[in-house]
Structure 1
């Protein structure tokens, strides 16, 4: 049993079937013939920085499938160890928000995800790319996702910290803008506080998570799915 314990499997089993339909779909590249279609979307933290290829996707996939759920990770890229049963994703090392946005419509049309796990903004900060307007670019990316896939469940993460103090402060400023952005995007867009779950002790190189850090990220995504389902039931 992983660090999540048996309770994580029970929680996942209780909600995942209601959150995402599992109807069969035509086979296409980056998508299997059936299963819960989840698009991990972001940069190298989603891709899985060496020496941890697959990143959080490994433990997330293991926990979902161990609960008896058919899971189909989707995307135009693929990597990961044998322990990750589905290697597809949209994690692009070195990419910024605007670079994802330039391709998002075609990716969505190809993969047709039921849910998206979005962690992006780190490279806007590390490349010092008009950081003051990074939240506005993220808002535009969210809008493009919703226009293309209006029924998708979109989980938007407050990004993880960095070891460099100046960059960590920029991360904090970026994250501070996210609650207001997400609040205006409708009931299918959910804010996920990934930043609170990891500290600099969970970083392998000052930017990317260690194996323990990636496991923590997987747990945060699982909890976010549970909370979103509870909110839907209460509505």
Structure 2
């Protein structure tokens, strides 16, 4: 529970329940701009284990930059601090295994942007020398199925016990990918190998949190360099970011906190945050803002002004029977 006087909590509950019944009606949500659909595609390095891999920090960077992005894929996992868990990262898979399912996944999820890191498991398979040829065929299949998508293909990160093999693979795929781009395909090379040192690979293959954060930086920089790949940049002086985090769960509900940050050069005069809750959930308590709809939150009198680079928070309790989750939030400042 939040640290508030009992009487104040009661007043907040009463105020929320006295608002329009639309608080529990998802049909009253105010639509935000359609998010850019991004598919993280690859093997266990894309899946990222229990820490969510590079997807954790990449998502945070995109939200902080005011970009509205939806990770897509047939799999979903990661820590509670990862608000968007969807991806197409299959532990143990090779290039050929991704090739076998990619057309179906592209048809199903229609990504605008694809982040492909694949080939690690081929390096200690039976034919590492043939991996560049297999990757070329995979990229051709992706660009044929989704010719309008931006396809970011990275060199693979080091493998402690197969460094020479990895280097040979990376050296072969870079000119091949650049040739596809020169032929007019929307293919972009991301040089991931130098971004992650072997010291950040505890088992010699998979990054730790620091290594995944470095991968996130490399992806973010590449995405930022290609207009449209993560949507349009926010308008100067009129943006803020909102990052939700589930802070507690119990049978029948959960508690969450949302951090509102001003990345601009001038102070905000106020802000409005929008997000959705799992089906059947409704807000029953809220502090640090005023809620309406499903769910639109405006600043309280005391926290609307946020200085450049500063942040504030609001929190809420939601009741319902489905799993605790808050959608990626949008934020607009006044």
Q: Same fold (TM over 0.5)?
A: yes
Is 1:84 the equivalent of 2:76? no
**Is the contact made by 1:75 and 1:88 (CA closer than 8 Å) also made in structure 2?**
yes
**Is the contact made by 1:77 and 1:89 (CA closer than 8 Å) also made in structure 2?**
yes
Q: Please point out which of 176, 180, 183 is paired with 2:175.
A: 180
The C-alpha deviation readout for 1:57-96, integer Å capped at 9, x for no partner, is 0000111112222210000000011211111000000000
Is 1:37 the equivalent of 2:34? no
Structure in which a larger fraction of residues adopt helix: 1
Is 1:159 the equivalent of 2:159? no
User: How many angstroms apart in 2 are the aligned matches of 1:181 and 1:229?
Assistant: 23
**Is the contact made by 2:45 and 2:206 (CA closer than 8 Å) also made in structure 1?**
yes
User: How many angstroms apart in 2 are the aligned matches of 1:45 and 1:62?
Assistant: 18
- Residue number in structure 2 paired with 1:212: 210
User: How many angstroms apart in 2 are the aligned matches of 1:228 and 1:65?
Assistant: 17
The C-alpha deviation readout for 1:107-158, integer Å capped at 9, x for no partner, is 00000000000000000012x2311110000000000001100011001100
Q: Please point out which of 42, 46, 55 is paired with 1:57.
A: 55
Report the Cα offset of residue 226 of structure 1.
2.4
Tell me the SS of whatever aligns to 1:65.
helix
The C-alpha deviation readout for 1:29-71, integer Å capped at 9, x for no partner, is xxxx931100000000000134x2x100000011111222221
- Residue number in structure 1 paired with 2:165: 170
TM-score normalised by length of structure 2: 0.56
**Is the contact made by 1:200 and 1:206 (CA closer than 8 Å) also made in structure 2?**
yes
Report the Cα offset of residue 228 of structure 1.
3.0
**Is the contact made by 1:125 and 1:170 (CA closer than 8 Å) also made in structure 2?**
yes
User: How many angstroms apart in 1 are the aligned matches of 2:174 and 2:160?
Assistant: 23
**Is the contact made by 1:34 and 1:72 (CA closer than 8 Å) also made in structure 2?**
no
Report the Cα offset of residue 205 of structure 1.
1.1
- Residue number in structure 2 paired with 1:148: 145
**Runs of at least 5 residues in structure 2 that lack an aligned partner in the other structure:** 1-32, 229-334
**Is the contact made by 1:49 and 1:208 (CA closer than 8 Å) also made in structure 2?**
no
Q: Please point out which of 194, 211, 218 is paired with 1:196.
A: 194
Tell me the SS of whatever aligns to 2:121.
helix
**Is the contact made by 1:155 and 1:189 (CA closer than 8 Å) also made in structure 2?**
yes
Report the Cα offset of residue 202 of structure 1.
1.1
Q: Please point out which of 109, 129, 132 is paired with 1:132.
A: 129
TM-score normalised by length of structure 1: 0.79
**Is the contact made by 1:105 and 1:144 (CA closer than 8 Å) also made in structure 2?**
yes
**Is the contact made by 2:152 and 2:189 (CA closer than 8 Å) also made in structure 1?**
yes
Report the Cα offset of residue 193 of structure 1.
0.5
**Runs of at least 5 residues in structure 1 that lack an aligned partner in the other structure:** 1-32, 231-235
Runs of 4+ in structure 1 deviating by more than 3 angstroms, as ranges, are: none
